[in-house]
Structure 1
């Protein structure tokens, strides 16, 4: 069996945790301690995050979409495929090294997505970006952690709180969509989304694009 090789590591800003980029043949993995945050073989649910949101805002002229978390680019690539040519996609990534990995060792996975003229990369906290905007986005796609049970960055807990959901609703245009990825179901988060004023549904999807393996959850909330 081909062994894993650690290519690089990066400290999460404001945290004591360290992300590690590993490679085994053509396969990549990003780890936090002993937890695997993402793997290049498992892209199905991240792609579905973008596809579901794009369906909800289909027909809008020059839609503006915010993606929280660059990861391995699966959500970004799916958004580029699903959104029109006049769309604007802003990707907020907290860890600068993740952007460097996307342009370096993982460039083949990204397939030039970062160079698409519709894409703007913002190195910073998506929480603050959302809080600073009013009626700016047609859709906000969040895949910045393990889901509402934040794992990598303490500030992410605020993002999924009632206050954070209120900020997201304010940052969305009328009828905009908040889409949230999670490794696990969470009935309490569903209730928080509804209480925040979102028409909410939770969809279960497979982690693998071939519809096999672990099941993940995607919440879709339409701003009323």
Structure 2
């Protein structure tokens, strides 16, 4: 079997860390330099698709729906959001690492169908938490897929996003009857309780990494 080969690296702003992009035939993997395992893989994106579908289905019938994707990753959540929403929608993607955006414009783009080229897409480079604070009442749906879920992995500053203050900022950035959707690699009862404490109704959904219902079980919180 062919081996993965590194085809790119990208610095993580503010952390001193680095992401690595690897390729094996038509398969891509993103990993953190110096750590075992991978953050994401182009063959395992069923739960990323589900994150967008579960959130955007609830607002797809709204005229001019505007949604936020926190974390571009490999582009699968963005692509699923665009497929679910209408032609007058806008999907804002907040991505901290400029190199990830470059990869999605470059060798990684075909994996998700090059969603950044859709005219409804707009990239906001920088911290998603800052964007939430800048735009109160700005979004019908907010999808957060940052790090490995409620526990920061690539940089500890991401913990704020899942703290009571971060969740309150996300709640304030929602339009009336909006939805907050959060992806995680696994369950986290303490995070569920934090969502409830900021006044949100919470639904937890278990999804699989593979679209065919196989692979690891991931968790998505839907909060209203």
TM norm structure 2: 0.97
- Per-residue CA deviations over 1:117-152 (Å, capped at 9, x if unaligned) read 111011111010001111110010000110001101
Name 1:3's counterpart in structure 2.
3
- The two structures, once aligned, show a CA RMSD in angstroms of 0.9
Which deviations, in whole Å up to 9, do the C-alpha atoms of 1:45-76 show, x marking residues without a partner? 00000000012223211111000000011101
Q: TM-score, normalised by structure 1?
A: 0.97
Match of 1:31 in 2: 31
User: Alignment partner for residue 94 of structure 2, among 92, 95, 103?
Assistant: 92
Could you tell me how far apart the structure 2 residues matched to 1:153 and 1:67 are? 19
Secondary structure of 2:38's counterpart equals strand
Which residue does the alignment assign to 1:43? Answer: 45
Partner of 2:18: 18
Contact 2:167 2:195 in 1 (8 A): yes
| Structure 1 gap ranges (5+) | none
Residue by residue, what CA displacement relative to the aligned partner does 1:153-198 show, whole Å, maximum 9, x if unpaired?
A: 2221000000000000111011110000000100010011011111
Runs of 4+ in 1 over 2 A off after TM superposition: none
Consecutive unaligned residues in structure 2, runs of 5 or more: none
**Match among 102, 106, 110 for residue 112 of structure 2:** 110
Partner Cα distance (2:215, 2:205) in 1? 16
In the aligned structure 2, how far is the partner of 1:112 from the partner of 1:208? 20
